[in-house]
């Protein structure tokens, strides 16, 4: 019975997310985000029946709502980013909504409180999202984001698959990991990471800013319109997240074997030009008039202070 109740709540939440999809949460003219009739109906039903979710039910439901919230955010704006602690805060926001409902708050009051919490949370964690959407537009500002074919990625990155060193890591592989799957079809040891759950066991669900890349682990790393695309965006926004990207950029380079390479697009010359030339070889070539690709090869270990003195 309890399981069927949770499944019903999940189904209703899916309809709710669909209704509010791509709506501008920060519209200055009129509130665009509302509970739909199915949500209002289940709230009234739970209050009439004095339904109280068990701690386990609440945990299961809020975890699911967090997952759906993140998916909705990423679909509208792929540059949006949340730390692991901020993701926990999302579950807390939905737990507060559950408590508001169970304490008998009206649909209207619960709706107003819930979306105010969401607005405050997004404004605090992703101020650039607030800034670009604080306008009269009813639809949120969106960005093009799609998974590309393996052949297109190979062409753009100028990769010769026959000379790839293993193991291979694709950063931002996408849900289907098309180029990773292509490499594995060639019997190469290839893996992918993405914040969206992958459809194969060799695709790891991970935040590329928090992932443990290891040390001298990878023979080849690729990132087509993913990591450095986001790095460039946050660098231009100067929103503070670019610092985390710069730190992770160096962690990725340290995860390369000596002789290993990282191929990515777009280029990020503001950090590439700072790399020590005795440790990294940087090759930057144009893809279009406006976009360059970069190949970084790790050619030597980092020198310790005593070695530098000698």
Strand order in the sheet with 218-224: 203-205, 190-194, 168-171, 218-224, 256-265, 292-298, 280-286
Report the predicted TM-score, pTM, of the whole model to 2 decimal places: 0.82
Whole-angstrom distance, CA of residue 50 vs CA of residue 44: 10
Q: How confident is the model at residue 310 (pLDDT cuts 50, 70, 90)?
A: very low
| Residue positions counted in the chain | 310
Whole-angstrom distance, CA of residue 193 vs CA of residue 222: 11
Tell me whether strands 168-171 and 190-194 are parallel, antiparallel or unpaired. parallel
Q: Name the DSSP class of 102.
A: H
Closest Cα partner for 13 from 92, 52, 85, 71? 71
Q: Is the pLDDT of residue 305 over 50?
A: no
Q: How confident is the model at residue 309 (pLDDT cuts 50, 70, 90)?
A: very low
- Mean pLDDT score, 56-64: 95
Instruction: Tell me what the pLDDT averaged over the chain comes to.
Output: 93
Closest Cα partner for 175 from 91, 74, 244? 74
More confident residue, 142 or 214: 214
Looking at residue 95, what is its pLDDT? 97
Looking at residue 198, what is its pLDDT? 80
Share of residues in the chain with pLDDT > 90 (%): 84
pLDDT tens digits, residue range 14-51?
999 999 999 999 999 999 999 999 999 999 999 999 98
- Mean pLDDT score, 209-216: 96
Looking at residue 158, what is its pLDDT? 94
pLDDT tens digits, residue range 173-197?
998 999 999 999 999 999 999 998 8
């Amino acid at each position: 019975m309890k399981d069927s109740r949770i499944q019903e709540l999940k189904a209703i939440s899916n309809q709710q997310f669909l209704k509010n999809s791509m709506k501008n949460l920060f519209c200055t003219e009129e509130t665009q985000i509302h509970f739909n009739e199915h949500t209002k109906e289940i709230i009234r039903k739970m209050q009439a029946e004095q339904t109280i979710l068990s701690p386990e039910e609440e945990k299961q439901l809020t975890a699911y709502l967090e997952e759906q919230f993140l998916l909705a955010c990423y679909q509208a704006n792929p540059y949006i980013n949340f730390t692991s602690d901020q993701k926990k805060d999302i579950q807390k926001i939905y737990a507060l909504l559950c408590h508001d409902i169970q304490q008998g708050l009206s649909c209207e009051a619960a709706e107003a409180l819930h979306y105010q919490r969401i607005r405050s949370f997004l404004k605090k964690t992703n101020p650039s999202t607030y800034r670009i959407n604080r306008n009269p537009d009813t639809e949120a500002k969106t960005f093009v984001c799609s998974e590309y074919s393996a052949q297109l990625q190979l062409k753009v990155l100028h990769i010769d698959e026959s000379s790839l060193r293993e193991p291979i890591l694709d950063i931002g592989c996408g849900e289907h990991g098309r180029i990773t799957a292509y490499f594995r079809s060639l019997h190469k040891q290839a893996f992918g990471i993405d914040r969206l759950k992958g459809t194969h066991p060799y695709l790891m669900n991970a935040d590329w800013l928090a992932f443990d890349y290891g040390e001298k682990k990878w023979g080849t790393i690729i990132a087509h319109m993913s990591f450095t695309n986001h790095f460039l965006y946050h660098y231009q926004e100067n929103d503070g997240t670019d610092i985390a990207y710069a730190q992770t950029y160096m962690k990725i380079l340290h995860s390369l074997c000596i002789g290993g390479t990282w191929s990515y697009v777009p280029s990020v010359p503001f950090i590439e030009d700072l790399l020590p030339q005795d440790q990294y070889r940087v090759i930057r070539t144009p893809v279009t008039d406006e976009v360059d690709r970069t190949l970084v090869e790790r050619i030597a270990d980092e020198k310790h202070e005593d070695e530098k003195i000698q």
